Amino acid sequence: MHAQILVSWIYPEKERKLIVVGERAMAMFDDCEPWGRKLRVFHHRVDWTTGFPEPLKGEAETMALEAREPLAAECCHFLECIRDRKPPLTNLTKAWLLSVSFARWRKS
């Protein structure tokens, strides 16, 4: 697994992207794009049949997203949980499990 995070207030370009690359495709979330193009899946892959890497570009597929700001959605959900006395979808147990998993991964 490889990850790269670049955070800079003075970076010369406005970029807000998350790219996840897999063996058969890659997904790109670009928060600077309009809602209709924020999430795209690229079906690119690498062919190794000749013993050398040959990039093969596939079709890009746009995934539908609800045009809703994430922080506003979280706040609305939080208020609904208080009003209806229901537990939130993401509770502290899940956050704790994620932190323990991350700590174990860092040790390995």
Which residue's structure tokens are 């704790």? 96
pTM for this one?
0.62
Which residue's structure tokens are 């700001």? 69
Mean pLDDT in order along the chain per 10 residues (108 residues): 79 88 89 92 91 91 89 90 90 75 83
Identify the pLDDT of residue 62.
95
Comparing C-alpha atoms, which of 35, 36, 15, 40 is closest to residue 25? 40
Identify the pLDDT of residue 34.
92
Distance CA 17, CA 7 (A): 11
Identify the pLDDT of residue 38.
94
Identify the pLDDT of residue 1.
64
